[in-house]
Amino acid sequence: MGDAVSRQEAGPRLIDWRASVSGGVLIALALVVAFLLDTPWDSVSTFRISRPRDVWAVGNLTVPSQWFNVAASVLLAFLGTRLFLKGGGRWTAVALGIGLVVLAMAFLVWATAGKAISLTGMLQATVVRAVPIALAALGGILCERVGVINIAIEGMLLAGAFAGAMFGSLMGGWAGIICAMITGGVFGLLLAALVITYRVDQIIAGVVINLFVLGLTSYVSSQVFAEYRWLNKASPFRSFKIPVLGDIPLIGPVLFNQNLFVYGALILVTLSTYYLFHTRHGLRARAVGEHPRAADTLGIDVIKTRYAHVIVAGMVAGFGGAWFTLGSVGRFDENMTFGRGFIGLAAMIFGRWHPLGALAAALIFGFADSLQQKLSILNTPIPSEFLSMAPYIATIVVVAGLVGQARPPAAIGKPYVKE
């Protein structure tokens, strides 16, 4: 234990570096906003909020483009300089989060200068795109809180997407979701068996499961789906409006007129926050992740707790995976998750292993994702390939800026051997 503390304290030199790097990034972004996102002083960006037929219609939001971007650049520069000179301390995550949001807004205002887009539509897309990332992050949190690294989240998402499409085509959407969750749970069980019982290196086990799922789903989709197309033709879940709440301007369409996956993700995040931090079992789970031997001494079954949580995490990821097929087009494509699981892990770190934090982080990534889509429609001079890199670059920045700032559960990555 004393050793663990001393290792923690060996960190300050690194932490200075981290704050400087994050600060430097923010300052660089301020320069980007100031010099590259130039618009004429008299141009105005218009954001539509309501559609004409809405019950309570609200006027458009107009922003003077250049003024907004000057303000954004000043704010970024301020945050960056502060971080650079004084170090971030507890505020690095917040500063970085604000910085990324401001950057995204500046991009948006710049791209819409002289044009108009629907803000509601964009935020709606943000929430939709945040769903798989939030669920992946939630799966990661449930694993890591009990001390198991889950790199296999990506594979579990992919397996869920696959199972959702196949069983959804065979037996309908609900069965598809249930089968996706079961499939995710099976891979959770596999991961648990490998790392807990057979003590395989957790990262290797995760990477191998990812490779296995990628191989298996690609094999079946080229071997079977290519021939029997009806196996890969599920009808996706449509969005449904919650009465009254769905009519509130802006908030209504964004939060209360979505499909099952959005509601499911919000409920799961709430439930797991309550579970982890307000119930006895949640406390026990966290104890297993922090100090398994102490937990064992107190009579908590470390092995069983880990198995249970990794399997549940797999089910959550399976549900998130079903989003890719049953929540959008109903068809499975090879490797369609495209790194969302890893972005989810970054969101987990960003959110400091807390479900609500992870949800907030997922929303930022979702915003970047939907922004990229909007920007490519708005015909900006930036090539679409660079725009689609944005979430990945943001992930690197977040991981680099926050690792060590946000402390992972202490027992992470270590197999537990009962004495």
Find the binding residues for another protein in span 329-358 (CB under 8 A).
338-339, 342, 345-346
CA triple 18-20-25, angle to 5 deg: 95
Cβ-Cβ contacts under 8 Å for 178 (sequence gap 6 or more): 167
Q: What minimum distance in Å lies between the beta carbon of 140 and another protein? A: 11
Nearer to another protein by Cβ, of 259 and 395: the residue is 395
258 neighbors 124 (Cβ within 8 angstroms): yes
Could you tell me which stretch among 16-24, 83-91, 128-136, 301-309 binds another protein (CB under 8 A)? 16-24
**Count of residues engaged in binding another protein, rule: CB under 8 A:** 55
Nearer to another protein by Cβ, of 36 and 55: the residue is 36
Inter-helix orientation angle 92-111/12-36, to 10°: 10
Nearer to another protein by Cβ, of 119 and 209: the residue is 209
Could you tell me which stretch among 130-138, 205-213, 277-285, 303-311 binds another protein (CB under 8 A)? 205-213
Q: What minimum distance in Å lies between the beta carbon of 90 and another protein? A: 17
Could you tell me which stretch among 44-52, 165-173, 192-200, 232-240 binds another protein (CB under 8 A)? 192-200
Q: How far apart are the first and last CA of the chain?
A: 17
Residue 61 is a binding residue for another protein (CB under 8 A)? no
Nearer to another protein by Cβ, of 239 and 335: the residue is 335
CA distances in angstroms from 22 to 19, 75, 88, 92, 253, listed in the order given: 5, 15, 9, 8, 35
H helices of 325-414, in order, are 340-350, 355-377, 384-402
Residue 373 is a binding residue for another protein (CB under 8 A)? no
Residue 399 is a binding residue for another protein (CB under 8 A)? yes
Could you tell me which stretch among 77-85, 177-185, 320-328, 393-401 binds another protein (CB under 8 A)? 393-401
> Contacting another protein (CB under 8 A), which of 71, 300, 378, 400?
400
Q: Which of 224, 222, 172, 190 is nearest to 313 (CA)?
A: 190
> Contacting another protein (CB under 8 A), which of 32, 98, 203, 308?
203
Nearer to another protein by Cβ, of 92 and 126: the residue is 92
Q: Which of 352, 317, 339, 348 is nearest to 388 (CA)?
A: 339
Written as one string, the DSSP assignment of 210-279 is HHHHHHHHHHHIIIIITT-GGGG-PPPPPPEEPTTGGGSTTHHHHHHEE-HHHHHHHHHHHHHHHHHHHS
Nearer to another protein by Cβ, of 218 and 239: the residue is 218
Q: What minimum distance in Å lies between the beta carbon of 333 and another protein? A: 13
Residue 199 is a binding residue for another protein (CB under 8 A)? yes
Between strands 44-48 and 116-118, the pairing is parallel
Residue 49 is a binding residue for another protein (CB under 8 A)? no
Q: What minimum distance in Å lies between the beta carbon of 316 and another protein? A: 20
Residue 21 is a binding residue for another protein (CB under 8 A)? yes
386 neighbors 276 (Cβ within 8 angstroms): no
Distance CA 228, CA 73 (A): 54
Q: What minimum distance in Å lies between the beta carbon of 309 and another protein? A: 20
- Beta strand segments in 85-214, E: 116-118
Binding mask 137-166 for another protein (x = CB under 8 A): --------------x---------------
> Contacting another protein (CB under 8 A), which of 78, 91, 212, 275?
212
275 neighbors 282 (Cβ within 8 angstroms): yes
Q: Which of 205, 306, 249 is nearest to 51 (CA)?
A: 249
Residue 189 is a binding residue for another protein (CB under 8 A)? no
Long-range Cβ pairs for the range 389-392 (8 Å, 24+): 391/343, 391/365, 392/339, 392/343
Quote the tokens at residue 290: 């922090």
Residues near another protein (CB under 8 A) are 2-3, 14, 17-18, 21, 151, 194, 197-205, 207-209, 211-212, 214-216, 218-220, 222-224, 338-339, 342, 345-346, 383, 385-386, 388-389, 392-393, 395-396, 399-401, 403-404, 413-415, 417, 419
